[in-house]
Structure 1
Amino acid sequence: MRENLLSGPEPDPARDAGHRDAPPRVGFFTDTSVCIGCKACEVACKEWNAVPEDGMTLTGMSYDNTGGLGASTWRHVAFIEQPVPAGRTELPLVGPDTGGDGTAQGGADASGMRWLMSSDVCKHCTHAACLDVCPTGSLFRTEFGTVVVQEDICNGCGVCVPACPYGVIEQRPTDGRAFKCTLCYDRLGAGQEPACAKACPTESIQFGPLDELRERAALRVDQLHEAGVTEARLYGHEPDNGVGGDGAFFLLLDEPEVYGLPPDPVVTTRDLGTMWRHAGMAALSLAGGAALSFALPALTRPKGRR
């Protein structure tokens, strides 16, 4: 097992976490170009994981009434309404098998507006700051490369919440413990796919070995570009990005900020080692200065007065 890395290339996080016979790393590829906003993933996630309701209140501002990810919303389908980009009336090619005969979920309506829909989830980062800062070991890296919270060990300290560069993990107000997506760890152990991917009717949420998903995603982007959807891009797929690559990455039809995603996320514990070294050096300097302040008068005192 190699020394734990806080940043940089990390090809096999599961084995480096101590899982010697780890299977290939798995994750999610979410193709937002075929998301229809049905929220089947949200419902399936809640049902399988017994996630409690999260308010059931209407915002009055959008069809998106869950608002965002949180302790009781592990899958969140965003509804983004925006004017169609200049010079475009529709986004062709709904899915990989349509042959370009359909209109993508972001197609314009009569008012010149379009919907961008995206099912967001915990990114299961290669370098997970939430895991790095957890003082109780509640957060751990599974043999599948995912990051899971053990709710029976969490003490509700909340240190993991500000550590997440995506703002995913949250404490539940009723008891203070932190919760987030587990990528259905129990289902993975039984050889099943996560509930959200199983329930998705358009295969917008795809589950499988991460390397295979990255290849599939690159082909999908090329397909969309050939169809004229030049704004299609991948987000979170690069193994050398600020978090070492995400275990859940996305195909987007606009800038990440439009979807509420940070444009250039960086693991917040990246400089932790350097910070501790600097703190240690500062402490040694203070201790040396204090010792010198006591020793110097004795060293400079006249010989006859010693």
Structure 2
Amino acid sequence: MAERMGFFTDTSVCIGCKACEVACKEWNQLPDDGFVFEATSYDNTGMLGASTWRHVAFIEQSRPVQLPSADDGAEDSVDRWLMASDVCKHCTHAACLDVCPTGALFRTEFDTVVVQSDICNGCGYCVPACPYGVIDRREGDGRAWKCTMCYDRQLGGLEPACAKACPTDSIQFGPLDELRERAEERVARLRADGHEEARLYGESPSDGVGGAGAFFLLLDEPEVYGLPPDPLVTTRDLPAMWRWAGAAALSLAGTVALAFLKDGSLRRGGRHHRWGR
């Protein structure tokens, strides 16, 4: 297997230009999302989905701050925008792989997770299995779709389209171990500059999915970005469930066998009794 590749998305330098969304759609020939304008946001795609494999969220915040010039200690409100380009996490322990009955989902030599659309039967088991709500089925198609981390481009030695198009290097692509080191250095610099809220999300191999192949630098709590604070691989209990199911099946088989043996014994006893008469 080749070296594990991944994404590091530094939201602190994202400007919300959506170049990554456009590049992703163009390279992967994804249909548009209807260009629905929501009155509460400038974001016209809304969320990740079958036709949106990169999604830039626009998060507007109003925070009370102490005005240094105010003698009476009055507070004012300061608005800030948080921009974040979300994508499939390409989990180390991917529940979508566990539940796929056809093998349409597979792990590549770059340790990324890809859906083979020509094998997908549209069962949809992978959709609720994803702890991040990334995978979706396309209306009118029925099959599951999500980010492939531009597997075809990686095979040709190219970086994914979204990272190539990002003008601020908010999306960085490369060997995952190198990206983690770079991300830790970036967080340290931000905190030294006074951004104590800076944190990494999805980089730790000890988290609930064994670490993500696409992780993020955030400037607020994960929930603010629509990310689960403590993601867990949804199939974590499957081995125990199979063991319990196996034990239950053996117990049931034993009970049925015992019942047949007992019934057979009674039948033989009854026949002997009649012959004795």
Query: Under a length normalisation based on structure 2, what TM-score does the superposition of the two structures give?
Result: 0.91
Higher helix share: 2
- The residue matched to 1:84 in structure 2 has which SS? strand
Match of 1:51 in 2: 30
What is the identity, as a one-letter code, of the residue corresponding to 1:213? L
Distance 1:245 1:147, change over 3 A: same
Aligned mate of 1:262, from 194, 216, 228: 228
Aligned mate of 2:20, from 41, 50, 66: 41
Match of 1:180 in 2: 146
What is the identity, as a one-letter code, of the residue corresponding to 2:251? S
Following superposition of structure 1 onto structure 2, how do residues 26-175 of structure 1 map, counting pairs within 5 Å?
26-84=5-63, 86=65, 112-175=78-141
Match of 2:72 in 1: none
What is the identity, as a one-letter code, of the residue corresponding to 1:60? A
- The residue matched to 1:161 in structure 2 has which SS? helix
Following superposition of structure 1 onto structure 2, how do residues 6-17 of structure 1 map, counting pairs within 5 Å?
none
Question: Is there any run of 5+ residues in structure 1 with no aligned partner, and where?
Answer: 1-21, 90-109
Structure number, greater radius of gyration: 2
For 1:112-136, what per-residue CA distance to the aligned partner results, in whole angstroms no more than 9, with x for missing partners?
A: 1111110000001111111121111
Match of 1:96 in 2: none
The separation in 2 between residues aligned to 1:139 and 1:88, in whole angstroms, is 54
The separation in 1 between residues aligned to 2:143 and 2:38, in whole angstroms, is 26
- The residue matched to 1:112 in structure 2 has which SS? strand
Distance 1:85 1:151, change over 3 A: farther
Between the aligned residues of both structures, percent identity stands at 73
Higher strand share: 2
Aligned mate of 2:253, from 278, 287, 295: 287
Distance 1:135 1:297, change over 3 A: closer
Following superposition, the deviation at residue 294 of structure 1 comes to 3.2
Count matched residues.
Answer: 265
What is the identity, as a one-letter code, of the residue corresponding to 2:150? C
Aligned mate of 1:223, from 186, 189, 202: 189
What is the identity, as a one-letter code, of the residue corresponding to 1:208? G
The separation in 2 between residues aligned to 1:86 and 1:279, in whole angstroms, is 57
Which range is displaced more, 264-273 or 119-128? 264-273
The separation in 2 between residues aligned to 1:280 and 1:264, in whole angstroms, is 31
The separation in 2 between residues aligned to 1:120 and 1:211, in whole angstroms, is 20
Following superposition, the deviation at residue 191 of structure 1 comes to 0.8
Match of 2:73 in 1: none
For 1:197-235, what per-residue CA distance to the aligned partner results, in whole angstroms no more than 9, with x for missing partners?
A: 011111100010000000000000100110010000000
Following superposition, the deviation at residue 58 of structure 1 comes to 1.0
The separation in 2 between residues aligned to 1:276 and 1:87, in whole angstroms, is 57
What is the identity, as a one-letter code, of the residue corresponding to 2:3? P
CA contact (8 A) 2:96 2:130 kept: yes
- The residue matched to 2:210 in structure 1 has which SS? coil
For 1:282-304, what per-residue CA distance to the aligned partner results, in whole angstroms no more than 9, with x for missing partners?
A: 11111212222333355579796
Match of 1:210 in 2: 176
Following superposition, the deviation at residue 24 of structure 1 comes to 1.1
The separation in 2 between residues aligned to 1:148 and 1:255, in whole angstroms, is 29
